[in-house]
């Protein structure tokens, strides 16, 4: 799957400076892979440090073609639309990335792999969210663990629980 030398393009879909860009923000902060650029239609022509005070300072492009020219091999879906589903205009961008030979990292609830059964040799789609069958909620099983734990609680899904825990 993802190799250490593959260059990433993080697609924010106009969310780089918003809470819904949380996936991309996490990749900017913690990725060990080189980040070629980010894509954001509204912020193209700027750099990440113009908007964010973390992560590498990389160019922001308005389109996927510029990301490919910058050497990006992998498109990371860097924002979380409401409900975890990509709207049609975003699907069109993923279609373009697949057609150009890029690999995809997708952290959304909507799996993209089934949409693209015929990938090129070496091309892949990593649908990260693979919930186990029978996954329940609020079973309190962590109480039975013998290790120390920290409960991270927030008022919404983009409040920064993961980042606060990691930092």
Taking the model in full, what pTM does it have? 0.86
Q: Domain locations in the chain?
A: 8-131
Q: β-pairing, 8-11 with 35-39?
A: parallel
The CATH label, of 3.40.30.10, 3.40.630.30, 3.40.50.720, 1.20.1070.10, for the domain at 8-131 is 3.40.50.720
Give the residue among 35, 68, 40 at the shortest CA–CA distance from 54: 35
Q: Are 142 and 151 in contact (CB under 8 A)?
A: no
Give the residue among 4, 23, 26 at the shortest CA–CA distance from 166: 26
Per-residue pLDDT of the chain (167 residues; tens, 9 = 90+): 999 999 999 999 999 998 788 889 999 999 999 999 999 999 999 999 999 999 999 999 999 999 999 999 999 999 988 777 888 889 999 999 999 999 999 998 899 999 999 999 999 999 998 877 877 777 788 888 899 888 777 766 666 777 777 77
């Amino acid at each position: 799957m993802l190799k250490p030398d593959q260059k990433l393009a993080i697609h924010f879909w106009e969310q780089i400076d918003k809470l819904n860009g949380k996936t991309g923000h996490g990749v900017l902060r913690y990725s060990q892979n080189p980040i070629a650029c980010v894509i954001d239609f509204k912020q193209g022509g700027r750099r990440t440090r113009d908007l964010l005070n973390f992560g590498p300072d990389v160019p922001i492009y308005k389109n996927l073609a510029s990301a490919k020219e910058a050497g990006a091999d992998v498109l990371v879906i860097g924002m979380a639309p409401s409900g975890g589903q990509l709207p049609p205009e975003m699907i069109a961008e993923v279609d373009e990335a697949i057609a150009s030979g890029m690999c995809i990292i997708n952290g959304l609830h909507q799996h993209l792999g089934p949409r693209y059964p015929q990938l090129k040799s070496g091309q892949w789609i990593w649908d990260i969210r693979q919930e186990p069958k029978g996954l329940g909620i609020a079973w309190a099983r962590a109480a039975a663990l013998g290790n120390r734990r920290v409960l991270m609680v927030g008022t919404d899904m983009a409040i920064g629980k993961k980042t606060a825990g990691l930092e």
